[in-house]
């Protein structure tokens, strides 16, 4: 999997992804880009024009397209304290959430939304017990660098999206009581997971692929 991002300052992105998060830098496929290895996943950051913005991206999961990517850590509270001390924008402090995990959200230097996740999900509906069991068996130890876990995307039509991605479904978690009908469907996408958000209410359309903007450009499975 390759996660593609846009940045105004590649050196600043390297200081964030390589020096702060601890990902190894690897050769980029083209000039004007930097590439970072998060296990088998690659984070490809391409320089964009000085006047580029987020291309209409807003912090609302009812907007279509890529919402964030998530990293597994052993201690989300300690990691967020480190990021705060380094001047990183923290969007939400650590909290225990549905699915039995502890999470927090923060921004990269150009406004892409990232998540730290502590623990393994407990699915309400398991579609592939072997995949869920393999995921539950994984552990990340104290002091280990963050490990790439998932990319979250919001879709307008869940069945059509599942056909498009063509990845096996691990399980689902529904936010019962949420009037929007919020459903999270988890797919195994090679070395990572696709966390697919869908709603019973209309979603604001936005392309999954959008080059030339700050933040998320797309994902290559």
Q: Please count the helices (runs of H) and the strands (runs of E) in the chain.
A: 4, 14
Whether the pLDDT of residue 39 is over 90: the answer is: no
- pTM: predicted TM-score of the whole model, two decimal places: 0.95
CATH for 2-220? 3.10.180.10
Q: How many degrees, rounded to 5, is the angle at CA 9 between CA 93 and CA 148?
A: 45
Q: How many degrees, rounded to 5, is the angle at CA 63 between CA 62 and CA 65?
A: 125
In the chain, % of residues over pLDDT 90: 94
Cα 128 from Cα 170, distance rounded (Å): 5
Q: What is the pLDDT of residue 139?
A: 87
Q: How many degrees, rounded to 5, is the angle at CA 194 between CA 167 and CA 207?
A: 100
Q: What are the domain boundaries of the chain?
A: 2-220
Q: What is the pLDDT of residue 32?
A: 95
**pLDDT tens-digit map of 99-127:** 999 999 999 999 999 999 999 999 999 99
Q: What is the pLDDT of residue 103?
A: 98
**pLDDT tens-digit map of 163-217:** 999 999 999 999 999 999 999 999 999 999 999 999 999 999 999 999 999 999 9
Q: What is the largest CA-CA distance in the chain?
A: 49
Beta carbons within 8 Å of 139's beta carbon, 6+ residues apart: none
């Amino acid at each position: 999997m390759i996660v593609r991002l846009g940045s105004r300052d590649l050196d600043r992105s390297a200081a964030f992804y390589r020096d702060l998060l601890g990902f190894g830098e690897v050769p980029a496929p083209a000039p004007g880009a930097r590439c970072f290895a998060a296990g088998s996943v690659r984070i490809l950051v391409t320089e964009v024009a000085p006047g580029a913005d987020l291309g209409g991206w807003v912090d609302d999961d009812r907007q279509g397209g890529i919402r964030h990517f998530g990293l597994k850590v052993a201690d989300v509270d300690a990691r967020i304290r480190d990021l705060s001390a380094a001047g990183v924008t923290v969007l939400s402090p650590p909290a225990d959430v549905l699915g039995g995990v502890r999470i927090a959200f923060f921004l990269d230097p150009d406004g892409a939304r990232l998540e730290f996740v502590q623990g393994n999900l407990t699915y309400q509906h398991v579609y592939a017990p072997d995949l869920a069991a393999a995921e539950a068996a994984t552990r990340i130890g104290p002091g280990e660098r963050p490990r790439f876990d998932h990319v979250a995307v919001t879709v307008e039509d869940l069945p059509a999206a599942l056909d498009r991605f063509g990845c096996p479904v691990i399980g689902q978690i529904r936010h019962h009581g949420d009037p929007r009908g919020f459903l999270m469907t988890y797919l195994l996408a090679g070395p990572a997971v696709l966390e697919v958000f869908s709603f019973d209410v209309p979603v604001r359309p936005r392309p999954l692929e959008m080059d030339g903007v700050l933040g998320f450009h797309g994902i290559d499975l």
